[in-house]
A and B are shown apart, each in its own frame.
Chain A
Amino acid sequence: MRSRRISVIATTALLTMALWPGLAVAHGLAGKRFFPSTLTIDDPFVSDELSLPTFLLFKTPSDGEAPSSKTANISGEFSKRIFPNLGLTLAGEWNNLDPAPNDRTESGFGNLEMTLKYQFFTSPAHETILSAAFGWEAGGTGRKKAGAESFDVFKPALLFGKGMGDLPDALAYLKPFAVTGIVEGVLPSRSGNKTYTLNDDGDLEVEIEKNPNVFHWGFAVMYSLPYLQSFVKDVGLPAIIRQLIPLVEIDINNPLDRGFAGKTTGTVNPGIIWAGKYFQLGLEAVVPINERTGKVVGVRGQIHFFLDDIFPNTIGKPLFRW
């Protein structure tokens, strides 16, 4: 009886030792570094999290016959870990275009999007995360008049996150810096859309709208006050201030072909994130980099929930472990 009890204790201890390094981490952590979920650039980590809502108010410029339009976008994103390093994200959005290309105010859902992401490298010592992702925007699942395309779009991507905590101690105040980023292909399944209309003379006119392949890239540079306070120097910040992470996100689209090559668009998005225990709040200005992108500064905001902290034993953990 005694030997059996010792055996059970030994087995439990071995299991504990074996599982110890693999206990739940997630949540955008690499060593000491907590990467917040950024508002504009996709995150380099897999997680159990919910962004709901993210809102965007922006004014797009006129383009050919299409008028300038005030766009209100509300979106949600649910990320779920299937395995500890493999996650699935489902995203949806609702748009209001004032006016839409048909000169009327139109609103409705955009296309649904699904992304599979594999976090294939994590270095706690160097606060580094690397991931590969493949996104699929399902054409025709949203309302066309509200801007949803009728074709699929595929989005292979590489993502990275790097904290500066491995800098020498002489540069201690730079350690709270971190950068995350993405390089992504945006590949439409159809090279162009044909629209048939009858002109005033009753003749059939064919209009072809081309859909270019796009090289999308971007990065976020952030300075973590929680990191400063907990790992570098307790400078006595008030509780609400020491949970802030100021950041700037750069988001660029480079069309590559089909008559759009060189017509770069993008935004610079300075803002701030407040990270709490169970959720974070973010707010950014959306500054167009050129007149092709827009002429007026927009605004983006987000409420983001950490499901792994709110529901650690149910939906907040991977579906499967090995």
Chain B
Amino acid sequence: MMGLHAMLVAAALLLGAGAAWGHAFLDRAEPRVGSTVKSPPSQIRAWFTQDLEPAFSTLEVTNQRGERVDQGPAKVPASSPALLQVPLKPLSPGTYRVKWRVLSVDTHVTEGDFTFRVEGGP
């Protein structure tokens, strides 16, 4: 029984030791990845699985012509260190690409992109 306790404590220590670390992967976003929204969003919010280094985390939004439609730079709120958000210019119907590149607090870099569509567009 002591052996089981010891193993559980060791596992808790092992996992707990890394609680503030790890690669930052996209957990969810608003608008949602690949979604179609009826009304144009005023901002993009992307939540990651780890806390971010604000100075080295970027998020850009482009339209189908490749033009920037965000009003960056993206920011990490002090109250939500795993959230990256950026306000948007008024969007017309169409498909938009969100491209992000973030640095987690332990210097692991991850990147990605996704699209969303504002209804009425192609």
Give me the interface of A with B, judged by CB distance under 8 Å.
20, 23-25, 27, 29, 31-32, 34, 124, 169, 172, 226, 229-234, 277-279, 305-306, 308-313
Contact = CB atoms under 8 A, between A and B. Distances in A.
Given A234-B29, A310-B17, A27 B23 contact: yes
A32 B113 contact: yes
15 contacts: A23-B103, A24-B106, A24-B107, A29-B110, A230-B114, A234-B32, A278-B22, A309-B22, A309-B108, A310-B15, A310-B21, A311-B18, A312-B18, A312-B22, A312-B107
B71 to A, nearest CB: 24
Contacts of A305: 14
Contact of A29 (B23, B28, B113, B114): B23
Interface of B: 14-15, 17-18, 21-23, 25-29, 32-35, 49-50, 56, 103, 106-115
Contacts of A226: 25
A178 B56 CA distance: 29
Contact of A172 (B23, B32, B34, B49): B34
A312 B22 CA distance: 8
Nearest to A232: B34
B33 A229 contact: yes
B82 to A, nearest CB: 12
A229 B108 CA distance: 21
B107 to A, nearest CB: 5
A124 B99 CA distance: 14
A277 B22 contact: yes
Given A20-B56, A277-B22, A278-B15, A234 B33 contact: yes
B109 A278 contact: no
A310 B10 CA distance: 14
Contacts of B106: 24, 309, 312-313
Contacts of A234: 28-29, 32-35
Given A24-B108, A226-B25, A310-B21, 12 more contacts: A23-B103, A23-B109, A27-B108, A34-B23, A34-B25, A233-B35, A277-B50, A278-B22, A309-B18, A309-B22, A310-B14, A313-B106
